[in-house]
Amino acid sequence: MNLTTLNNPIRGSAQPGSIIVVVGGGKGGIGKSFLSSNLGIFLANMGFNTVIIDCDLGAPNLHTCLGEEPPKVNFHNFLTGKMDNFVDCAVATQFPKLRFISGSNDHQELANISVYDQSRLMGAIYGLEADFTILDLSAGTHTSTLDLFLMAERHIVALTPDPTSIENAYRFMRAAFFRKIKRYERQLQLDAVVAGLMQNAQENEIRVPSDLFNQIIRLEPNKGQELKNIMRRLSFDIVINQTRSTKEVQLGQSIAAVSKKYFGLHTNFLGHLEYDNAVWHALRKRRPLILEFPHSNLYSQILSIARDLASPHLKKAVI
Ligand SMILES: Nc1ncnc2c1ncn2[C@@H]1O[C@H](COP(=O)(O)OP(=O)(O)O)[C@@H](O)[C@H]1O
Ligand SMILES: [Mg+2]
């Protein structure tokens, strides 16, 4: 891989056949790591070679959700050059087809890594050979977190029914939306147009992010359409976690519908996970939920999400 590719992660693409799934959501404590780890376990159990990466450099805890000890190697070894190959940071888990790459535990934040290191990391993630690569993001909307979010094919936005979590999820999707525009506007020579429109958003009748496209297309029909087509590749998969009632489950559906209108992008309600003390009990025993509580409702709810993610692979297998 040459430097041009490294410095321009937009040009990267995952190994043929491999799918990158990211779990983000802007807020901490909403179950991103719980969901990521369990999706990894379920996909691996379905027979897919899966790698799960803890992208929370500041507070990595994915190993606990997986019921594993903190590994001796983590991706800090790769970033500091102690390990040349990113794949060597991957450690085996108790699930035969599941490997896992830990974040570092030296309190370094992803936000603080250099642009060069971020590009190296993204290039290395694209280069992993696996059916599924799952990225478990940290909280916040730092550009490095957003870039990892944008590099995936499936963009899971996790939230809880709590109003602050809902607000954070919108803020996170909005930040991802504008980050993606930012990455392409210069390439399409639309940066001045976008900046001009956003400076006078009200006058230009840009009330929601999706209005931006209509205005760009009005000023620059061809390039505007090209940008719109690029942006359509971004879609959001909403997962509402810790639901305690049917009403809260339905909230996931309405958030997906509102987001679709707001961003003008495909948004899907991928599923819900109910609140269950079993999560806490399993964590306390350092045992994954699938082993400790295989008969819980959560089991079938996670399975349904994992099946949705696996469906393109399953279709290929049937053909
Ligand atoms: N569906 C659930 N039911 C009950 N507790 C949950 C559920 N999902 C997550 N939790 C708990 O919420 C806490 C935060 O989860 P975690 O996955 O670490 O969040 P994040 O990665 O978003 O910071 C954990 O203690 C976990 O046990
Ligand atoms: Mg986490």
One-letter amino acid at 303 equals L
CA of 60 to the centre of ligand 2 (A): 7
- Nearest-angstrom CA–CA distance, 3 and 1: 7
Q: Measured between alpha carbons, how far is residue 161 from residues 22, 54, 241 in Å? A: 20, 24, 7
Which ligand 1 atom is nearest residue 34's CA? 17
Find the 233 Cα to ligand 2 centroid distance in Å.
Answer: 26
pLDDT recorded at residue 315:
61
Atom of ligand 1 nearest to the CA of 241: 1
The reported pLDDT for the residue numbered 17 is: 72
- List of residues 6+ apart from 206 with CB closer than 8 A: 197, 198, 212, 215
Q: How far apart are CA 68 and CA 70, in angstroms?
A: 6
Helices (H) and strands (E) in the chain, counts: 14, 8
What is the spatial distance between Cα 186 and Cα 223, in angstroms, rounded to a whole number? 11
Give the class (CATH, top level) of 18-152+276-310: alpha beta
Ligand 1 is surrounded, with C-beta below 6 A, by: 28-34, 61, 241-242, 273, 275-276, 279-280, 283
164/28 Cα distance (integer angstroms):
11
Question: What's the 73 CA to ligand 2 centre distance in angstroms?
Answer: 19
Q: Compute, in angstroms, the gap from residue 29 CA to the centroid of ligand 1.
A: 6
CA dihedral 173, 19, 253, 148 (to 10 degrees): -20
**pLDDT tens-digit series, residues 1-42:** 232 332 333 334 556 578 999 999 988 899 999 999 999 999
The pick from 34, 38, 274 for probing ligand 1's pocket by mutation, whose C-beta has the most ligand atoms within 8 angstroms, reads 34
| Listed residue (54, 50, 36) closest to 95, CA to CA | 50
Q: What is the pLDDT of residue 111?
A: 64
Cβ–Cβ < 8 Å for 308, 301: no
Q: Domain ranges for the chain, please list them.
A: 18-152+276-310, 163-267
pLDDT computed for residue 13 by the predictor: 55
Best mutation site among 38, 53, 279, 298 for ligand 1, i.e. most ligand atoms within 8 A of its Cβ? 279
Atom of ligand 1 nearest to the CA of 56: 21
Closest C-alpha to ligand 1, atom 16: 31
Going from the Cα of 284 to the center of ligand 1, the distance in angstroms, rounded, reads 12
For 155-168, the pLDDT digits (tens) are 999 999 999 999 99
- Å from CA of 172 to ligand 2 middle: 15
Dihedral angle over CA of 35, 37, 38, 40, nearest 10:
120
The pLDDT, as a whole number, for residue 7 is 32
Report H helices in the chain. 3-7, 32-45, 62-65, 75-79, 115-127, 143-150, 163-185, 191-199, 209-219, 221-231, 246-263, 277-284, 289-292, 297-318
Nearest ligand 1 atom to the CA of 283 is 27
Residue nearest to atom 14 of ligand 1 (CA): 29
Pick the residue whose CA is nearest to atom 11 on ligand 1: 31
Which ligand is nearest to the Cα of residue 55, counting in written order? 2
| Average pLDDT over all residues of the chain | 88
User: What is the C-alpha separation between 1 and 123, in angstroms, rounded?
Assistant: 8
Distance CA 54, CA 45 (A): 20
- Positive or negative, the CA dihedral 198, 202, 207, 212 is negative
| List of the chain residues with pLDDT < 50 | 1-12, 318-319
Task: Please check whether residue 190 is in contact with residue 167, taking contact to mean a CB–CB distance below 8 angstroms.
Answer: no
Secondary structure letter of residue 316 according to DSSP: H
CA distance 146 to 274: 27
Closest atom of ligand 1 to CA, residue 28: 23
- d(CA 205, ligand 1 centre) in Å: 40
Ligand 1, atom 10, residue with closest C-alpha = 31
Cα–Cα dist 99/90, whole Å? 6
* Angle subtended at Cα 197 by Cα 193 and Cα 201, rounded to the nearest 5 degrees: 170
At residue 5, the pLDDT reads 30
* Cβ(103)–Cβ(62) below 8 Å: yes
Residue 80 corresponds to which amino acid? Answer: T
Closest CA to 155 of 182, 184, 185, 180: 180
- 22 CA distance to ligand 2 middle (Å): 12
Contacts of 3 (CB under 8 A, 6+ apart): none
pTM of this prediction?
Answer: 0.92
Which pLDDT value is given to residue 306?
97
Predicted pLDDT of residue 76: 83
In the block, tokens 């800090």 appear at: 76
